[in-house]
Amino acid sequence: MQGSAFVPGHITGFFEIFDDSDPVKAGSKGSGLVLDKGVYTTVKVKEGSGISILLNGEPCDCPVTKDAVDDILKITGTRFNVEVLHELEVPMKYGFGASGAGAFGATLATSRALDLNLTMNQCGAIAHRAEVLNRTGLGDVIAQSVGGLVIRTKPGAPGTGGTDKIFSDKHVLVFIVGDEMETKPILLDKTKREKINAIGGECLRKLLKDPTPENFLGLSKKFAVETGLMDEKLYSAVETLEKKDIIASMSMLGNCVFTLTDEPERVRKYLDYLYIIADIDYTGARILV
């Protein structure tokens, strides 16, 4: 028994944290870009027990994926041996929502493999819950469920939170500027959280008043600078692009610089970093054949 799914990557531009004792209601508001590059997941199920996970062919603990698969197996009330194969088109720990994409894809693919017929929101809630409890993400899964330049207007999992979409046909260009970043310590730091929430809330109000791609980029930069999350190296990269009249910001939470452009092949030459060119994915998470 086998199932496959694709879940797009998601770059958050800014966010505001909302706690709740119910992880399905907890999450964040904010805004971000859903990419047509993400995580492909295949799940193979047979008799037996245990969950093994391979990430680009290498064994991986992948606790968020493991928790999500554990949760979905509880629904069946039966033990199975589950093999999860993640193939990533985006890097881990660089603010692409890879952990959420992996867990969400594993849930969709397991539902298909076991003919559980779970809906989008049921799979999304399982993945969102695993993200919140592992403190690896707060808003990626709901954005990934709908696709687009997503505004998250109400926190929570798919089916609980609320979203809207801005239209843009520009390409997404992302530069890998610094090292890997862990989301968890930032989400647990009280001072950082207070700054994030004050500035994130302000950015959302301003985006809703003028919901354009350019305003999204500008507010993302404001957020990254004013929260102190953007370091010198990232700031310098963003400044280099600004001198060419290109508004750019930092992926949340990762050491990447991103922008929207009609000319990714021209703009990529302005910085000497590894880069990824993608389009906005307007479809969102999906089960493959």
Query: Does position 117 bind its own copies by CB under 8 A?
Result: yes
β-pair partners for 82: 45, 51
Query: Does position 76 bind its own copies by CB under 8 A?
Result: no
Closest distance of CB 286 from its own copies, Å: 6
Closest distance of CB 230 from its own copies, Å: 26
Of the candidates 22, 169, 182, 242, which one interacts with its own copies according to CB under 8 A? 169
Of the candidates 210, 239, 263, 272, which one interacts with its own copies according to CB under 8 A? 210
Q: Which residue type does 72 have?
A: I
Q: What is the 3-class SS of 221-256, one letter each residue?
A: HHHHHHCCCCCHHHHHHHHHHHCCCCCCEECECCCE
Which of these ranges, 33-41, 120-128, 130-138, 217-225, lies near its own copies under the rule CB under 8 A? 120-128
Query: Does position 159 bind its own copies by CB under 8 A?
Result: yes
Query: Residues binding its own copies: what is the number (CB under 8 A)?
Result: 29
C-beta of residue 249 within 8 angstroms of C-beta of residue 256: no
Count of CB atoms within 10 A of residue 276's CB?
22
Of the candidates 148, 200, 218, 264, which one interacts with its own copies according to CB under 8 A? 148
Rounded distance between C-alpha atoms, residue 117 and residue 226, angstroms: 45
C-beta of residue 249 within 8 angstroms of C-beta of residue 260: no
Q: Token match 């989301």: residue?
A: 183
Q: Token match 């696709």: residue?
A: 147
Rounded distance between C-alpha atoms, residue 218 and residue 229, angstroms: 15
Query: Does position 229 bind its own copies by CB under 8 A?
Result: no
Query: Does position 206 bind its own copies by CB under 8 A?
Result: no
List residues binding its own copies (CB under 8 A): 108, 112, 117-122, 146-148, 151, 153, 159, 162, 164-167, 169, 210-212, 282-284, 286-287, 289
